[in-house]
Amino acid sequence: MIHKIMPNMSNSYVFVYLILLHSVLNLKGLAPWATRTRMAIVCQTKVTRNANMEKFRNGYLFPEIEKKKKAHMEKYPDAKVISLGVGDTTEPIPTIVTSAMAEHSLALSTPEGYKGYGDEQGNKSLRKAIADTIYGNMGIRENEVFISDGAQCDIARVQLMFGSNMTVAVQDPTFPAYVDSSIIMGQTGEVLEESGKYKGVEYMRCAPENLFFPDFSITPRTDIIFFCSPNNPTGQAASREQLQQLVDVAKRNGSIIVYDSAYASYISDDSPQSIYEIPGSKEVAIEISTFSKFAGFTGVRLGWTVVPDELLYSNGFPVLQDFDRIICTCFNGASSIAQAGGLACLSDEGHKAIRGVIDVYKENARILLDTFTSCGQEVYGGVNSPYLWVHFPGQKSWDIFSEILEKAHIITVPGCGFGPGGEGFIRVSSFNYKDCVLEACSRLRSFLG
Amino acid sequence: MIHKIMPNMSNSYVFVYLILLHSVLNLKGLAPWATRTRMAIVCQTKVTRNANMEKFRNGYLFPEIEKKKKAHMEKYPDAKVISLGVGDTTEPIPTIVTSAMAEHSLALSTPEGYKGYGDEQGNKSLRKAIADTIYGNMGIRENEVFISDGAQCDIARVQLMFGSNMTVAVQDPTFPAYVDSSIIMGQTGEVLEESGKYKGVEYMRCAPENLFFPDFSITPRTDIIFFCSPNNPTGQAASREQLQQLVDVAKRNGSIIVYDSAYASYISDDSPQSIYEIPGSKEVAIEISTFSKFAGFTGVRLGWTVVPDELLYSNGFPVLQDFDRIICTCFNGASSIAQAGGLACLSDEGHKAIRGVIDVYKENARILLDTFTSCGQEVYGGVNSPYLWVHFPGQKSWDIFSEILEKAHIITVPGCGFGPGGEGFIRVSSFNYKDCVLEACSRLRSFLG
């Protein structure tokens, strides 16, 4: 930029100029990154910053919230802040699972138990257990299951596989990693300042008036359709009919669905827990999932992605083979300890124990839902999902977020952080201890009442 | 391709044609992927395969070797195959480290010990321990240390950060992940069939005649210089003078060095164990490293990357901030259990214990080096590295690999797998049990004698 303005300046002059510019901008609060560069002559490289990274307008949502939380706690050091924000698990993991991980760890100190690299795609036993347990009668084979260190990591790896020349559609609102990874990959244009939307991304509005399901009759074809069900943040699980419609659209358009089922285990009604419950889906869908919210593995890091053999690019080449190449080149398998834990989760006894934990959060969600409902608040989700999606018509999400934090000392997530369609909403998470949720509900009743 | 040949064919005709074509190619052994597509009418999508993925000529090196090993074991079911191939650790991890991981696992079942998401950048205590222990007097601050799930993963994430408009240079030969990730990111052109080099990549020849150090006087400027020391596969650790030259070149050219120090802990002489031992390097270098070969964590998965505050793009923007964004968006932190293990490795007692394991492999390397030397073989490495680089002038690497496998039942790695400059060499790994190494040496003496 500077070089364009003053093409004849030598590099060192440019840099002195830049430093002065930083100082000025910084005083005006316009160049937050200037605070990180030292006010001394340092030598910048001649490497141009990735233009895709320049497109980001905001920081990543959750670290942003964390910053605001820290600032609030400095302002009110005695306040007992309750987090119903970041969807972070709080309940201890059942001992049947942690014992398996501890045993695996200790065995690494024995000649018989030591094992170095595993298969990049994951341990066969775990791949098979996922195919058998999670996808029992859906015809998923173990070679189609790739073990990961979490859904967010595999969203990035799937995007890396697809490359920059893809068009994408996302639910609006939805989990930010889809659009963010699209920006990084160069699949998008610049942000449109007015709407907050990125050029080149189809934002499929999902709101109460369309039962939180996209209107495909007005959605242009894209190569990729990201679809999260139960949706984060709206808490809506798509019905069988809706998912059949999604698969039909993908088939008609020759699109690939990237289906995120991270919260499938929270479904209580007969909504499908996997896209592969829908006939014909194996020819059009990848499914990304995780042990994070299923088994409290947010810190342990374990997930999986299914890429069916039947899924083919337009030239007939199997997508699975490119994903395998990405996994072998850019990943080296999930921690063997985490994988031992994952296997324990899928045993009969383990599965029963982690269901007990899910039920704790589901009970929290029920309590929160009752609270909002009894206060006459417009609220969605909380039945098939740990998240509630609360509407404050006419208000700005960040204002609601700030007001609830200021008055009730409760952290939520501003809906607009999930896309422009989230404006006017906040997401409330049920991931917390029951007594904290009860205390939060008491404060919310005062706040809303 | 088919569409280019027959632009007027309808999609379904094209696909029937494709299936027939697959059958024919498959019979001729020309389309290995055709065996994966079912010989039935399946519905391909209209999504175009990533052109970068199309550029790959070979499978990823190590899975390729694994396939050949399996085929050999089927041919000789009674042979005791010894692997000196993939650099995979074999010695148990000291109990001080695995106990820490087991304790951390078990604590996840208690309300006090349970912890969900950690910081995406890694636990503060581990970041600080790495800054203090590994980079003691080099001025690396804990905020510059990012914890990863391994070096290979962070090579990919660093590349994702840089984007496709980068020019890159690599040592030739070197670890394949640098070029492979360049291909995936679209930083390269097509492969030149004759040389096996990818267009747009500068291959900096590192051979006995230039003491395995690039001749920068004939190397065009690139944005990125990947530099691995001790080098995998040649086993050469660059000297202080050589690394000063590297840093000087990067400064002169405004390039960024991506320095891979995965094998630094194997250095016995006074070669630098980090690029940050070189004055001025913080303004031009990222360092990627790992616990894999340092602590036997190949299956546990833990590594780190240092991005100094002082490293700036041409517009003055700190590289660290873009890397932080990548970590927050495309990664969610390494397993908390692995991180607990990493912290134990860096305690005084832990560090002493893992040094003992490194010494086992270094003794193996010494035995292998003696064997090759006493047979009059031209051999490099093995002193500052677990790898030996053995020259068979005039022969093809894959031929040597096959001959050693066929006659001695020993797996090595063909040098050409590390770049065209590796042709005529094989890499021999010292990662195995001592008795296996002794047995391998006995067979090698027969083979070479």
| CATH number of this structure's domain B61-92+351-448, picked from the four choices 3.40.50.300, 3.40.50.280, 3.90.1150.10, 3.30.70.940 | 3.90.1150.10
Radius of gyration of chain B from its Cα atoms, rounded to whole angstroms: 23
Given pLDDT bands bounded at 50, 70 and 90, which one contains residue B167?
very high
Q: Residues B223-251: what's their mean pLDDT?
A: 98
| CA-CA-CA-CA torsion sign (A37, A42, A46, A47) | negative
CATH homologous superfamily for A61-88+351-448? Aspartate Aminotransferase, domain 1 (3.90.1150.10)
The domain segmentation of chain B, as residue ranges, is 2-47, 61-92+351-448, 95-349
Given pLDDT bands bounded at 50, 70 and 90, which one contains residue A228?
very high
Q: Is the pLDDT of residue B245 over 80?
A: yes
In angstroms, the CA B284 to CA B222 distance is 13
Q: Residues A147-156: what's their mean pLDDT?
A: 98
Whole-number pLDDT of residue A63? 79
Whole-number pLDDT of residue A57? 83
What would be the CATH architecture of the domain defined by A95-349?
3-Layer(aba) Sandwich (3.40)
Percent of chain B with pLDDT over 70: 90
Q: Residues B301-305: what's their mean pLDDT?
A: 98
State pLDDT tens for residues A9-44: 444 444 444 444 444 444 444 444 444 444 445 689
Whole-number pLDDT of residue B62? 80
Whole-number pLDDT of residue A158? 98
Q: Residues A169-178: what's their mean pLDDT?
A: 97
- Give residues with Cβ within 8 angstroms of B129, minimum separation 6: B342, B343, B346
Given pLDDT bands bounded at 50, 70 and 90, which one contains residue A64?
confident
In angstroms, the CA B102 to CA A104 distance is 8
Inter-chain residue contact B321 with A109, CB threshold 8 Å: no
Q: Is the pLDDT of residue A353 over 90?
A: yes
Given pLDDT bands bounded at 50, 70 and 90, which one contains residue B4?
very low
| CA-CA-CA-CA torsion sign (B393, B399, B404, B407) | negative
Q: Residues B135-144: what's their mean pLDDT?
A: 96
State pLDDT tens for residues B32-83: 444 444 444 568 999 999 999 999 987 667 878 989 999 999 999 999 999 9
Q: Of B301, B320, B177, which is closest to residue A329 (Cα–Cα)?
A: B177
Contact residues on chain A for B156, CB-CB shorter than 8 A: 160, 329-331
Q: Residues A279-305: what's their mean pLDDT?
A: 98
- Please name the residue that has the structure tokens 């896209």: A275
Whole-number pLDDT of residue B276? 98
Q: ipTM score here?
A: 0.91
Amino acid at B115: K
Given pLDDT bands bounded at 50, 70 and 90, which one contains residue B12?
very low
Same fold, A61-88+351-448 and A95-349: no
Q: Residues B152-168: what's their mean pLDDT?
A: 98
Q: Is the pLDDT of residue A345 over 80?
A: yes
| Closest residue to A53, CB basis, from B50, B101, B161 | B161
Contact residues on chain B for A48, CB-CB shorter than 8 A: 165, 223, 313-315
Task: Give the residue from A1, A147, A330, A361 with the most B CB atoms within 10 Å of its CB, the best one to mutate.
Answer: A330
Per mean pLDDT, which range of A372-386, B20-34, B75-89, B408-422 is the poorest? B20-34
Q: Residues B155-179: what's their mean pLDDT?
A: 97
State pLDDT tens for residues A198-220: 999 999 999 999 999 999 999 99
In this structure, are residues A387 and A413 in contact, taking their beta carbons and an 8 Å threshold? Answer: no
Find the closest chain A residue to B293 by CA distance.
A116
State pLDDT tens for residues B255-272: 999 999 999 999 999 999
In Å, how far is A370's CA from the nearest CA of chain B? 26
A117: Cα within 13 Å, side-chain hemisphere: 19
Given pLDDT bands bounded at 50, 70 and 90, which one contains residue A87?
confident
Whole-number pLDDT of residue A37? 45
| Closest residue to B44, CB basis, from A15, A22, A313 | A313
Q: Residues A214-227: what's their mean pLDDT?
A: 98
Sort strands B425-429 and A256-260 into parallel, antiparallel or unpaired: unpaired
- Give residues with Cβ within 8 angstroms of B178, minimum separation 6: B155, B168, B170, B226, B228, B258
